Amino acid sequence: MLLKDILHFLITYLRFYLRLGPAGRAAHTRDRLGLPPYDPGIENAIKEGVSWICRAQDNSASQDGGVATHFSLISGWSASYPETTGYIVPTLLQIAGFNGEATLRHRAKRMLDWLVSIQFPDGSFLGGSIDSKKLVPVTFNTGQILLGLSAGVREFGEAYLEPMCRVADWLVRTQGSDGCWRAYPSPYSIPGEKAYDTHVAWALLEASKIEPNRGYAEAALSNVNWALRLQKENGWFEKCCVSNPSQPLTHTLGYVFRGILEAYRFTDDANLLEPCNRLANGLLTAIRTDGFLPGRLLSNWQGAVSWACLTGSVQIAYCWIKMYQLTGNTSYRDAAFAANQYVRRTMKLDGSPETIGAIGGSFPIYGGYCQYAYPNWACKFFIDSNLIEKHVKERS
């Protein structure tokens, strides 16, 4: 490398480092020291995570009842994100059901009312955050909001039934004859088919439990069967990333895993459990004993990066625990507990309220996913995975 290239790199890096501000620089320095040794414990971590989700709703830059996309150490609180607000709803309602917390139930209803207010006339929803310049319908985002509306119907009744059916009908109507959704891709991902749309299929299965005679389950299973054609013998999935299918994020692998797992739970079809076993076993080969799971993986299940995508780690942990419950394979349980503990150790319990209870996009915070930011979906999936771990441990 020429001296001028080295100087250019150093100047660029210094400008970025200074732009981080004190909080960003402190987080950078802290994470360079490695994973903190302290595990706050499952119950405390869940409590702090829920409190952070509530702050993310209260501090959303768009102040509309939705949940801020993230808190950034560079730019602060963002505007609300419809997609992830949608699937945060079931998490809050689940906790409200356990604890009888009326305030969480009210928060979930505010989220639902906001989502209904921004639904497109054809039943779909936009991709991206609410302040996005590209106001176009997107299949994946719409499907995630369907998860929230389905939970809303079960919790609050008829008020959300018609919006739920309009979403589900749109998904059925826009699906290809082979089960793949191609017509309304995200403008924020690379072009092409996506295996992780099985997470949309799961949403249709949830809607079909409420409205069983509208073709929702058939459409969902058609997509799952299409996606399974992309799975290799070692469990690997092609076309399973937003940006780099040859090195997919654990986040999108977690999406495809959950979708197929929920299809198995819906049908009890052993032909759907075997692909889950292959995926679960492949992922087992990628995790370290301390719970570190590389944020991007190669097709031989080797790590492609040195950082963890914390969202993906807890999504996969949740699926491993479900697989343990279904199969009795303790390797799944042990890997899940290790992954959850790894992510819990990244949670801050002191300092600025904007980051207490939050989960970073990556560990270290300067890793390649949601750099220097705490996305709301990381915290949502973290809560879900710790809730199911808590349930398993209480029953053992």
pTM for this prediction: 0.95
User: Confidence class of residue 17 from pLDDT cuts 50, 70 and 90?
Assistant: low
Q: Of 229, 263, 297, which residue constitutes the final position of a domain?
A: 229
Tell me, yes or no, whether 278 and 384 share the same domain. yes
Q: Of 187, 206, 229, which residue constitutes the final position of a domain?
A: 229
Tell me, yes or no, whether 392 and 257 share the same domain. yes
- According to DSSP, the β-strands at 70-72 and 373-375 are antiparallel
CATH code, domain carrying 264: 1.50.10.10
Residue type, position 74, single letter: I
pLDDT of residue 14: 63
pLDDT of residue 326: 97
Tell me, yes or no, whether 208 and 350 share the same domain. no
pLDDT in tens, 147-157: 999 999 999 99
Q: Of 229, 261, 281, which residue constitutes the final position of a domain?
A: 229
pLDDT in tens, 157-216: 999 999 999 999 999 999 999 999 999 999 999 999 999 999 999 999 999 999 999 999
Radius of gyration of the chain (CA): 20
Three-state SS across the chain? CCHHHHHHHHHHHHHHHHHCHHHHHHHHHHHHCCCCCCCCCHHHHHHHHHHHHHHHHHCCCCCCCCCECEEECCCEECCECHHHHHHHHHHHHHHHHHHCCHHHHHHHHHHHHHHHHCCCCCCCCECCCCCCCCCCECHHHHHHHHHHHHHHHHHHCHHHHHHHHHHHHHHHHCCCCCCCCCCCCCCCCCCCCCHHHHHHHHHHHHHHHHCCCCCHHHHHHHHHHHHHCCECCCCCECCCCCCCCCCCEHHHHHHHHHHHHHHHHHHCCHHHHHHHHHHHHHHHCCCCCCCCCCCEECCCCCECCCCEEHHHHHHHHHHHHHHHHHHCCHHHHHHHHHHHHHHHCCCECCCCCCCECCCCCEECCCCCCCCCEEEHHHHHHHHHHHHHHHHHHHHC
Q: Is residue 131 part of a domain?
A: yes
For residues 215 and 219, what is the distance between their CA atoms, to the nearest angstrom? Answer: 6
pLDDT of residue 101: 83
Which of 26-35, 82-91, 180-189, 326-335 comes out lowest in average pLDDT?
26-35
- Indicate the average pLDDT of the chain: 95
Tell me, yes or no, whether 208 and 241 share the same domain. no
Domain that holds residue 211: 81-229
Q: Is residue 334 part of a domain?
A: yes
pLDDT of residue 3: 67
**393, two tokens:** 């441990």
pLDDT of residue 74: 93
Q: Is residue 391 part of a domain?
A: yes
Tell me, yes or no, whether 393 and 264 share the same domain. yes
| Residue of 311, 190, 165 whose CA lies nearest to 252 | 311
Tell me, yes or no, whether 92 and 132 share the same domain. yes
Tell me, yes or no, whether 100 and 211 share the same domain. yes
Tell me, yes or no, whether 102 and 220 share the same domain. yes
How many angstroms separate the Cα of 98 from the Cα of each of 9, 28, 383, 387, 391?
52, 37, 13, 11, 11
Tell me, yes or no, whether 253 and 188 share the same domain. no
| 145 in Cβ contact with 126 (< 8 Å) | no
**Percent of the chain at pLDDT above 90?**
90
pLDDT in tens, 333-373: 999 999 999 999 999 999 999 999 999 999 999 999 999 99
| Total domain count, the chain | 2
Q: Is residue 67 part of a domain?
A: no
| Residue of 255, 193, 202 whose CA lies nearest to 229 | 193
pLDDT in tens, 257-307: 999 999 999 999 999 999 999 999 999 999 999 999 999 999 999 999 999
Tell me, yes or no, whether 207 and 266 share the same domain. no
Tell me, yes or no, whether 223 and 242 share the same domain. no
Q: What is the mean pLDDT of residues 86-92?
A: 98
Tell me, yes or no, whether 284 and 169 share the same domain. no
Residue 2, pLDDT above cutoff 70:
no
CATH code, domain carrying 105: 1.50.10.20
